[in-house]
Amino acid sequence: MTKRLEGKVALITGGASGIGRATVEKFIAEGASVAIADIDVGRAQEVADAVATPAGEGRAVAVGVDVSSFAEVEAAVASAVDAFGRLDVIFNNAGIAGGKPLLDHDPEVDYEPMIRVDQHGVYYGILAAGRQFRDQGGGGVIISTSSVYGEHGAELSFTYSAAKAAVIAFTRSAAYELAQYGTRAVAITPGRVATPIINQFSDELRATFAAEQLRGALTQPEEIANVVAFLASDEANAINGTVVQVEDGYSSFKQRLDLPEF
């Protein structure tokens, strides 16, 4: 039976942990070759070594990248091409989080770093991969991680929400401009996912986060990876310029209420 991503080459940023690592593992299992790009190249190499065990399938290489630098993102794309001969998918997933009330912001701490990573980093990935797809004859898929925060106002999220909203705008415009090359662009909006960022919080806060979703549980990174693998595959050719919600109903309600009958 042919695997869903057999023969495809992917670059996954933020691939050393969380959603990124789970997606690396899923892509390898589906037959892809993967360039694992992360600012922590040592951890990226650990992931590459882990998926190269006899139980793993496909191929992987570790690539160091600071996505806030266009030169480094271009170099990461080139590294994937050097390793595997072409590029078929980029998953712009690397990101940072943080929150502070707006009026307490220090722009150099609370605005600029997050915009550089979460917004500029996705722009750089779209641009570098888009050029590679064009130059190799067209095709390719661009998948970028936005967030439910990119579509909602929320606590302590002024900068994060702005960056994630930009990812949605980038995706729609990229889909429009790159369609002539046969390139697709899609954004995903995760809700509360059990990544290292959320797992560092208290049990009480994580329970509150879980209660915001319909299953009453945090989404697992592997569940997001399953969706990304589908979107990267030829089975998803009709999905383009789209925001795919992977948030277990987070957007459907705000709080469960114990209401009286009436």
pLDDT digits over 29-67, tens only? 999 999 999 999 999 999 999 998 665 556 999 999 999
250 in active site: no
- Which of 222, 201, 221 has the alpha carbon at shortest distance from 156? 201
Q: What angle do CA 244, 246, 252 make, to 5 degrees?
A: 95
Q: What angle do CA 92, 21, 162 make, to 5 degrees?
A: 35
pLDDT tens, residue by residue, 168-186? 999 999 999 999 999 999 9
Catalytic residue among 160, 176, 181, 250: 160
Global confidence as pTM: 0.95
pLDDT tens, residue by residue, 131-142? 999 999 999 999
Tell me the CB-side half-sphere exposure of residue 78, using CA atoms within 13 A: 7
Sorted by where each begins, the domain ranges of the chain are 9-247
Higher-scoring residue by pLDDT: 98, 27: 27
Backbone angles phi, psi at 159, to 5 degrees: -75, -45
What is residue 84's predicted lDDT score, i.e. its pLDDT? 97
What is residue 262's predicted lDDT score, i.e. its pLDDT? 64
The DSSP bridge partners found for residue 107 are none
Amino acid at 167: V
- H helix and E strand count, the chain: 9, 7
- Which of 65, 73, 70, 10 has the alpha carbon at shortest distance from 38? 65
Neighbours of 196 (CB within 10 A): 10
CATH for 9-247 (3.40.50.9100, 3.30.70.260, 3.40.50.720, 3.40.1160.10):
3.40.50.720
50-77 in b/e burial notation, b at 16+ Cβ within 10 A?
ebeeeeeebbbbbbbbbbbeeebbbbbb
Whether the pLDDT of residue 72 is over 80: the answer is: yes
**Residue 153 banded pLDDT, cuts 50, 70, 90:** confident
The pLDDT of 257-261, averaged and rounded, is: 72
What integer best gives the mean pLDDT of the chain? 95
Percent of the chain residues past pLDDT 90, beyond the cut: 89
**Residues 146, 223: Cα–Cα separation, whole Å:** 16
Percent of the chain residues past pLDDT 70, beyond the cut: 97
SS3 assignment, position 184: strand
Taking each helix axis from N to C end, the angle separating 70-84 and 121-135, rounded to the nearest 10 degrees, works out to 40
Whether the pLDDT of residue 242 is over 80: the answer is: yes
**Residues 89, 163: Cα–Cα separation, whole Å:** 22
Neighbours of 238 (CB within 10 A): 7
